[in-house]
Structure 1
């Protein structure tokens, strides 16, 4: 039995009423954190306003509220009509309170003493009787809502009895929404106690039940917000980009013990270490660059063959397993200690709460008690996590000795900044008997000093047979090599070819993959096994010289070199794009998107684009760049697989290995790449601006609540960012381009934009709304002369409403790391608003026009 709409609307109204009453009360203290600096008055008032905005918007999103606006709706019950009336009254009262909070914020100074209560702050703009009056009105609303909800539930209860429908859900599944659970409990209480809405005592008892609903709702929201703050969109991309271990490799890792010596010390058997209870709780995997450390770490993560050893260590205690893969080719969070802890906390808490343990979500409130107290006090605690905050939460989590924690942390050498803090964190954590950590890195001095006396493994010393397995597979399955080898009657030549590659690799798996790819691409029909052997002997034995050898071979064809160099520069400029976007950016005509149709690509068009790009990456780029499926975890899609991908924008592209990235970005290679692409004449922003508009125009709709909607924001924002970057370089506003961006992003899709894809709280009518809010000053100046008066007025109202709702810093969610968009948003222009006010007037006679120079535009 689903919850009736009245429950959800009542919850939204009561949440905002109860929160507002607390803010207005003289005995409700503003909570200050116990282990950090006091929160400034300005921030407290901003958080109060944001929470009031959020709760007010929840009213509008309620099913009953939406149903009331449907002209074809059935007649609503009297209780439902009353709740709708109270919701409107609540919104009016809330708007009044928000205005007062923002006024108090504007009047305050950072030198003011810290407010003890929200009421103290409001007394700077209101009189006591105004505060008392608003508080009284809100309490009256609360009483009336309790009664109306009780009537609605009583009617539903009576109706169920008449129709013979089951009143209570027999399913005790923990995943049932808490509204439904609460509704069942409330109706059970009404039925058992025969509560009547006209009985004051009954209403008071029922009100206590309602309080329980609100408490659970607040806890659920806090839990959701903490998970959202811990999570980041590309959290799994590094793990997904690592190739899956080749079949038959790393088998020795699951044997006990390995039979080799590393220097003077025999390496510990990994499985033995995993099950050991002696307190040696950190295992270090190291080795040469390209030896396969990351592939091994991915292969071990949640590998069922480790479970018996883990269970021997954990005993009866439940085990929590999480991993993090540092990636210097990714964004800041993928190379930072904060990203590490956010990932480990997120994965571990997901396991605890939503996994087999089904632990009480209250663990979130325990780990982040200061944030929870700030949230219940004034709607705070929703700020971004900093490393000290994350470390406290992490250490508190692993202090629970009733659980055992096993963490895999790959690529410590790819950590940005100073690794000492993370090393200290790992060593400190593994002093606990209930924590084991397996970590990997190159054998750099800092890590050698920290880990050399702990169980360890030098990977390249173990990889010879794994390299042989891989090379043998290629020789026996790659069509061109099979054909060449078939001409030989002496199998020893083929075995010698395999052995030569294995020997020259010296246990570096990356060397083996690059060299075999190079041999395959360079093989011709006139080749035989002996000539292939000669090609192998000609290859440099070390990885960096091999990369130079392959790159110099690429340079023998100017067209191939120019194409590869262009892709290297485009990837470097972007980070790691999706494959489809890179195909758009690779278009030599950087204005092609302006005339492109506004429609999703047809399946044949999409498949051809992706297959062409895969071919270019393989042949022209010599596999220096690789493709992986970002969120699904599939690796290295081929031409036959791309058409089956549900969302082609999940296909991401980046350097195949850190060593390759370091090589391409080295000074001498980078200079050759620049020369091949015309040096400074090559403007990557032009290519990515074109690609962003292509991506916006070819968006595929998503199905949401029986309606197809377009998630336009990301592409829309990137279009504006690149337009501003281009304007920054030549002082010319991209009006033609931005007009087309507005048409594709807002104009033609106005009624089909995803609800959460633009700031909520004020309807977006035209692209001018977005341009003014983000302060695209040059564009707005030019468009103000020809825009309709109503559109200018709406844009000004939209800007005021959205900036007021988001507050200082609230725009970060929308702008992200787009540097030019961020700078533009902060650089407000009073003259621009005077100009807009002039053009918004119905009659302009005798009204002075603000003077602003019109910029150049294209």
Structure 2
């Protein structure tokens, strides 16, 4: 048989089999249907007609010598022809005679079912030829090859030779394409590009900062991150890392870079004369196994590379290339390329040095954190694999990768070639929100736009979800201002992401992660937790009392050790929490915080009851924090912490330990804290008055106690070169402020030196201010402190320098803390405390009034306040509260509540009456009221002269309030203009002893006036004589 005849016959057989396969599918549909010859039957008939045409060509020449392979080819052609004739004959019987007749169609349907078995036999024969008789088909393929080889160029004329070469050339190139496509199809897998396609396109103008070097005044364009990326594109550097929080937009940026022409422009500078080949893969953990595995990475990159450069296939997959070439063209067999084979093929590609002479490669791999680790291949293995790629290529491969800020990735890739995405997208977010919400630019809409971006905290995903909700609400005619409350509503999509992250935590990490979440939430109400503080978690695991042990093993740690320890802690916590927590840098210090504001709300609503791996049973979070903070204090070198910072540490420990009832005898935690604080105290000089460990700051009340004694030492600290501020650090004073009375009482009994100086006594008194701390005053008095002991005034401006007694200070507290009302427990404690003061000799002859200050009034404290609450005692006026500064609301509240009581209290509230101590006692209605009144009367009888001090003798110092001028009480308006002689006479009539006291007081005043006049006269005479002499 001549070569042309054999080739033509073989081509006809192949075409016939191709139509035969189509006939199989169509025939099966007809047989399985219930209506017989359907619309597809006519389609089958047309296919069969074409088969008939091909079959007519399946005739081999009869008068030619044939070898065995040629005989097989002829037999196969004859068998195909016979089967086609049977199928066409069968279809003729099944076809309805009249296509428009329903009856004929019904008859055809019955025939179809009746002859179904006969049709099946014919179809099986065709399948046998297409699939079962693969040996014949393979021999056919070999026959074609041998025919090609046998058809020597010398066997034909020159014209025939030219035609034959063209025919064979076309056949070979077509087969090459078919073979290549089969291998590419075997490398591809379902969902290979699904993640890339699902990532949203970057919003208009978003990310333009990464390519534009000149942004005018916008500093983001000069950020080192974008500059580093632009430089990397055209350099020989191997990898570039895009890091960021969860939902910060990393995948969107990676898709933007893959498609952007500026990316190729920069890479072509690096490529030079070589051909640039790009490939990409986006990991996706919620997807299929291949979408989150190294096998999927290898296959996807190989597919992209070999699709661009199919000429590499024989070198990269040589075994598969031979296999696919040996397969019949019509057999659509899928090659099974596994993980190992894909890895070996990719390694073969990377190590093929001749490829890099004319080619260079850049891979974009997104979401390394979305890769699903296995026991053999974890994150560390993956980053080592990526590093080998660039090493093997010797400058022929670049990789741009993205991931969350997990330690394994931050350690593996250079920080100099990294972008931290959340630091660069604020302007993009503002533009996105404005455009999507169609912001008008007015003040109200801009406030909401800025609020959305601020609350987004670098998470573009959260911002886009909020904007999506806002846009949906706009359709329901909601105004922008109405939607502001939506910003505090948890987003279900984001919660699902958080749930996924928690579920991906390793079992061994979950309890530690739960503890860190609880610590962060607890510490939000006070002092933040630093990296050094968190570094002691392992120490706490070994010994829950490690910070109170002596000797302390981490005492006076050096700087290098601290840096290593802090870096180690940051990495460990990053690994424990999968990016849900981070250390936030506020410019002064770093502290543990949530990555996004939605996380604490999500954790509060999540039910951990069913998951024992997150169970913190038996662990008291406050106790852990106290030990960690104390450990940090004891690690710090002496005098290296400012008093203000030390005060925050100490107060946090005292307050938290008090909250969870940790402080029990022998008070090991607070005693160790006191010992540690002493190492940081500032010795000012030898004067005990200026030698406190700290001046005053209270953290849990509306008053700043630093003001209490500020004026007392203000003049002195001006002379200090570096006083570093003053604040309370002594645990005794902080415990008094926090209401930890058990420790203070025990300390007062065991260490009386706490009250060794009037300064320390005053400090403790100032700290004991709330109703729960009133019992401390009884202990202080019992230990011998006099009610007349002098301390600085509690409230008021620093312009007023007079000291006040312990008793007056306490009276100020009654007015400012307990007016107009007090709870039952506080009333009981206050009554007993007042009784204790009176039993220890306190003078009840004091009163209070509200005044409107006159300019230049020398009798009242120099303050800018218009309204002041004053205490009059011992012919002196002390200012307790004013309506200026941050405490003004307190005085207004007192005045408002007292006015509502009516009567004398209303007059007092508007500055028209003076309230004495007795009236104040009657107002509170103490349980021991009778005892207190008896003590007041007893004091007055014993000290008749003192009682006169309750008499109002400074009416001229007060100017009536505006409300007082229109008072509904005529007696009040009369009191504003009439002299007070009648009132004084009435008081004298009721108390004859008071008449004598008043007369004596008047004589004393006159004597003093004469004395001062005489002194001035003598001074003037001396001055005149001196001037005359000189």
For the pair shown, the structure with the greater C-alpha radius of gyration is 2
Q: TM-score, normalised by structure 1?
A: 0.40
